[in-house]
């Protein structure tokens, strides 16, 4: 049998000119064995060189010669330095003591002059008496590994879509900039940018177009900044600019205006002209915050303010914003716990038919009885739930609960409907239609007993796409209405393209119906135009006789409001249904208003 263990390894079949070294090694069995062991141990493909005590190459293996672009014969007898000129060495000794091995990273030179990174592992060769005979060196080409390391670094610190620094790199730079600013008493400015309506562009034009849009935005922003400033993408449609040093308040304002002007021209994406804009929040060091976290929080608060004051604007941070943000953050965190603790309740507000004087159903309105914050209104927590995505959990809960109640009430009074408010983000969820279909099926609700309310702005945001989604809902048999009509685009003419059943006149018009002739004229016009389009009209926020008379007189179809009853818990509404579902007389519900 072939005894591999006793064969000299390939790498030890030395060239003739190194006989002397071989002889010396050969006289020392123990050292030779050790040498063999090391060579066997070295990774495959490593180059191996044995140099004599004068530093001349006594042996190289094929891999070493190839790696450096030489034939093996060309190297024998030449100084080992020609492969690894020490001046290029930038490595440091790693554990020189360990088992006598000396490891270092350095730059070697090929025959054609090209420099490449290597890792060298050397070990002196000594005879039994300890006299130095030469050096055994293994050489690993590190080019690939360095490339991989670079790629990993790129992945870790740069955003793959825009190639801009990502959150990690921004945080590094921010920490460094802050330390320097503290030492040198400089100012810094941090700008948070959030593209307006990007989500809609992304969902209507597709993610590829969305990515191209982001790349183009990144290029435009970069074109207006100097190298010294960091432009980073935090993810989604959020960009951050760190000005180091800060150009002062006026300088920052001028820059923010310039950044916004970059959006004036359309973006040409796949041959189509797309428009965009950005909101900007600004925090300054040291005025607004002295550490990274507070600066980020301030810039975020300012951005939130810029967004809510109408888009395409910029805002400097102010202390009042801090309180708003702190409450927002606290509510956002509290909401999750609140849901787990069962602090959310559905209330129901009765809706009445003004012609037949019958109860038609109820609108489901969410309430949060928080142990920590007390009663929080939906006007406050729904927008927060929308912005942090918590609306998906809440929305599912509302839809399910409302449908289960509707089944119960339908048994007492067949034909009652329950209206559920749907937020924009919920509606844009790709699986929204499936969710509705599943809840309808699981709850056993008759689809026509469920009415979904959308605001005009939600419907109009992605009009084309929405028509299809609404048509699909209609095919399921679900009823659809437009909430808060009059506060948005208010284009009935446009709305006729949508398969909707009813519009709800916003309560702000009803409030001044009798005292403000403009509001009266608007309400009247909405009712008559809606009727000409065969849409039902529901008036919200009816509080008194005068308003009701006006609406009955103008043939408004339905109404809800404190006049009839405030929103009430589900069990109370069950009692309400039992009490009024057989009513033929409008004075009965009117009398409970108290």
398 binds, among Mg ion, ligand C2E, none (CB under 5 to 8 A by kind): ligand C2E
Binds ligand C2E (CB under 6 A): choice among 85, 247, 286, 378: 378
Looking at beta carbons only, is 300 or 540 nearer to Mg ion? 540
Looking at beta carbons only, is 369 or 507 nearer to ligand C2E? 507
Q: Taking CB under 6 A as the rule, does residue 393 contact ligand C2E?
A: no
- Between the CA of residue 525 and those of 517, 532, 537, 545, what are the distances in Å? 12, 11, 11, 21
Task: Give strand ranges (E) for 322-475.
Answer: 344-353, 359-370, 374-376, 417-421, 450-455
Q: What are phi and psi of 235, to 5 degrees?
A: 120, 160
Nearest distance in Å: CB 495, Mg ion: 16
Q: Which residues inside 395-424 make contact with Mg ion, applying CB under 5 A?
A: 421
CA neighbor of 443 nearest in space, from 410, 405, 394, 414: 405
Nearest distance in Å: CB 372, ligand C2E: 19
Looking at beta carbons only, is 65 or 398 nearer to Mg ion? 398
461 binds, among Mg ion, ligand C2E, none (CB under 5 to 8 A by kind): none
Give the span between the Cα atoms of 466 and 460, in whole angstroms. Answer: 8
Looking at beta carbons only, is 151 or 457 nearer to ligand C2E? 457
Nearest distance in Å: CB 512, Mg ion: 16
Nearest distance in Å: CB 482, ligand C2E: 11
* Tokens representing residue 108 in the block: 């070697």
Q: Which residues inside 288-327 make contact with Mg ion, applying CB under 5 A?
A: none
Of 186-194, 467-475, 539-547, 569-577: span binding ligand C2E (CB under 6 A): 539-547
SS3 label, residue 229: coil
Give the span between the Cα atoms of 462 and 185, in whole angstroms. Answer: 49
Contact 246, 186 (CB under 8 A): yes
Binds ligand C2E (CB under 6 A): choice among 75, 106, 384, 398: 398
Residues in the chain: 594
385 binds, among Mg ion, ligand C2E, none (CB under 5 to 8 A by kind): none
Give the span between the Cα atoms of 292 and 290, in whole angstroms. Answer: 7
Give the span between the Cα atoms of 240 and 280, in whole angstroms. Answer: 9
Q: Taking CB under 5 A as the rule, does residue 52 contact Mg ion?
A: no
379 binds, among ligand C2E, Mg ion, none (CB under 5 to 8 A by kind): ligand C2E
CA neighbor of 26 nearest in space, from 38, 12, 40, 39: 12
- Between the CA of residue 166 and those of 9, 194, 239, what are the distances in Å? 50, 15, 9
Binds ligand C2E (CB under 6 A): choice among 289, 541, 570, 589: 541
Q: Taking CB under 6 A as the rule, does residue 379 contact ligand C2E?
A: yes
Looking at beta carbons only, is 202 or 481 nearer to Mg ion? 481
Give the span between the Cα atoms of 243 and 245, in whole angstroms. Answer: 5
Binds ligand C2E (CB under 6 A): choice among 64, 159, 300, 484: 484
- Between the CA of residue 506 and those of 450, 482, 523, 548, 563, what are the distances in Å? 21, 10, 9, 15, 16
- For the range 220-225, what are the long-range contacts, defined as Cβ-Cβ under 8 Å and sequence gap of 24 or more? 220/262, 220/263, 221/193, 221/259, 221/262, 222/164, 223/262, 224/255, 224/258, 224/259, 224/262
Binds ligand C2E (CB under 6 A): choice among 377, 414, 477, 569: 377
Looking at beta carbons only, is 57 or 439 nearer to ligand C2E? 439
Q: Taking CB under 6 A as the rule, does residue 423 contact ligand C2E?
A: yes
Q: Taking CB under 6 A as the rule, does residue 538 contact ligand C2E?
A: no
Pair type for strands 230-235 and 502-505: unpaired
Q: What is the separation, in whole angstroms, between the first and last Cα of the chain? A: 108
Give the span between the Cα atoms of 417 and 53, in whole angstroms. Answer: 97
Q: Taking CB under 5 A as the rule, does residue 343 contact Mg ion?
A: no
Q: What is the largest CA-CA distance in the chain?
A: 121
Of 147-155, 174-182, 334-342, 555-563: span binding ligand C2E (CB under 6 A): 555-563
Q: Taking CB under 6 A as the rule, does residue 562 contact ligand C2E?
A: yes
Nearest distance in Å: CB 279, ligand C2E: 23
Q: Which residues inside 328-357 make contact with ligand C2E, applying CB under 6 A?
A: 349
Per-residue mark of binding to ligand C2E, 432-471 (x: CB under 6 A): ----------------------------------------
Nearest distance in Å: CB 594, ligand C2E: 13
Omega prior to 245 cis, within 30 of 0: yes
Q: What are phi and psi of 368, to 5 degrees?
A: -120, 105
Q: Taking CB under 5 A as the rule, does residue 453 contact Mg ion?
A: yes
Of 134-142, 200-208, 422-430, 478-486: span binding Mg ion (CB under 5 A): 478-486
52 binds, among Mg ion, ligand C2E, none (CB under 5 to 8 A by kind): none
Q: What is the DSSP string of 465-479?
A: HHHHHHHHHHHHT-E
Count residues contacting ligand C2E (CB under 6 A)?
22
Nearest distance in Å: CB 362, ligand C2E: 11
Q: Taking CB under 5 A as the rule, does residue 456 contact Mg ion?
A: no
Contact 351, 374 (CB under 8 A): no
Q: Taking CB under 6 A as the rule, does residue 53 contact ligand C2E?
A: no
Per-residue mark of binding to Mg ion, 483-512 (x: CB under 5 A): xx----------------------------
CA neighbor of 217 nearest in space, from 235, 237, 190, 234: 237
Q: Which residues bind Mg ion (CB under 5 A)?
A: 421, 453, 483-484, 540
Residues that bind ligand C2E (CB under 6 A): 349, 365-366, 377-379, 382, 398, 421-423, 483-484, 507, 540-543, 560-562, 567
């Amino acid at each position: 049998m072939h005894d591999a263990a006793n064969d000299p390894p390939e790498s030890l079949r030395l060239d003739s000119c190194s006989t002397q070294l071989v002889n010396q090694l050969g006289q020392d069995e123990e050292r030779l064995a050790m040498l063999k062991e090391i060579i066997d141990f070295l990774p495959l493909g490593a180059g191996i060189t044995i140099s004599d005590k004068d530093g001349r190459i006594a042996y190289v293996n094929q891999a070493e010669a190839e790696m450096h672009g030489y034939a093996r014969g060309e190297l024998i007898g030449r100084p080992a330095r020609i492969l690894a000129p020490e001046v290029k060495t930038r490595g440091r000794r790693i554990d020189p003591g360990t088992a006598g091995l000396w490891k270092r990273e350095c730059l070697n030179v090929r025959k054609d002059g090209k420099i490449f990174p290597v890792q060298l592992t050397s070990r002196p060769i000594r005879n039994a008496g300890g006299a130095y005979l030469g050096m055994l060196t293994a050489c690993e080409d590190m080019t690939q590994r360095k490339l991989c390391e670079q790629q990993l670094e790129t992945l870790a610190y740069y955003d793959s879509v825009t190639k801009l620094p990502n959150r990690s790199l921004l945080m590094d730079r921010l920490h460094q900039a802050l330390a320097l600013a503290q030492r040198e008493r400089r100012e810094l400015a941090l700008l948070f940018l959030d593209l307006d309506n990007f989500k809609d562009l992304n969902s209507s034009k597709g993610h590829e177009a969305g990515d191209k849009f982001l790349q183009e935005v990144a290029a435009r922003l970069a074109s207006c900044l100097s190298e010294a400033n960091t432009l980073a993408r935090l993810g989604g449609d959020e960009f951050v600019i760190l000005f180091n040093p800060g150009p002062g308040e006026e300088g920052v304002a001028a820059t923010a205006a310039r950044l916004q002007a970059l959006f004036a021209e359309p973006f040409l994406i796949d041959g189509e002209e797309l428009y965009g804009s950005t909101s900007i929040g600004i925090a300054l060091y040291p005025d607004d915050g002295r550490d990274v976290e507070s600066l980020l929080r301030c810039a975020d608060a300012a951005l939130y303010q810029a967004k809510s004051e109408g888009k395409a604007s910029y805002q400097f941070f102010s202390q009042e914003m801090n309180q708003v943000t702190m409450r927002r953050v606290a509510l956002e965190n509290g909401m999750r716990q609140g849901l787990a603790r069962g602090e959310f309740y559905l209330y129901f507000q009765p809706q009445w038919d003004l012609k037949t004087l019958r109860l038609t159903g109820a609108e489901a309105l969410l309430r949060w009885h928080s142990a920590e914050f007390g009663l929080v209104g939906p006007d406050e927590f729904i927008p927060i739930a929308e912005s942090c995505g918590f609306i998906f959990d809440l929305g599912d809960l509302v839809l399910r609960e409302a449908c289960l109640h509707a089944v119960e009430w339908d048994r007492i009074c067949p034909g009652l409907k329950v209206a559920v408010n749907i937020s924009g983000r919920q509606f844009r969820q790709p699986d929204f239609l499936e969710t509705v279909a599943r809840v309808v099926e699981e709850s056993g609700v008759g689809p026509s007993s469920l009415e979904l309310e959308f605001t005009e702005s939600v419907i109009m945001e992605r009009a084309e796409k929405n028509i299809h989604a609404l048509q699909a809902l209609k095919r399921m048999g679900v009823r659809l209405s437009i909430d808060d009509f009059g506060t948005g685009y208010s284009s009935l003419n446009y709305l006729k393209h949508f398969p909707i059943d009813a519009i709800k006149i916003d309560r702000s018009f009803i409030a001044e119906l009798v005292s403000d002739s403009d509001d009266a004229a608007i309400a009247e016009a909405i009712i008559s135009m809606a009727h000409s389009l065969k849409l039902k009209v529901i008036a919200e926020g009816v509080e008194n006789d005068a308003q009701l008379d006006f609406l009955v007189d103008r043939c408004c179809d339905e109404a809800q409001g404190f006049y009839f009853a405030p929103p009430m818990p589900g069990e109370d509404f069950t009692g309400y249904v039992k009490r009024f579902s057989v009513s033929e007389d409008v004075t009965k519900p009117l009398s409970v208003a108290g």
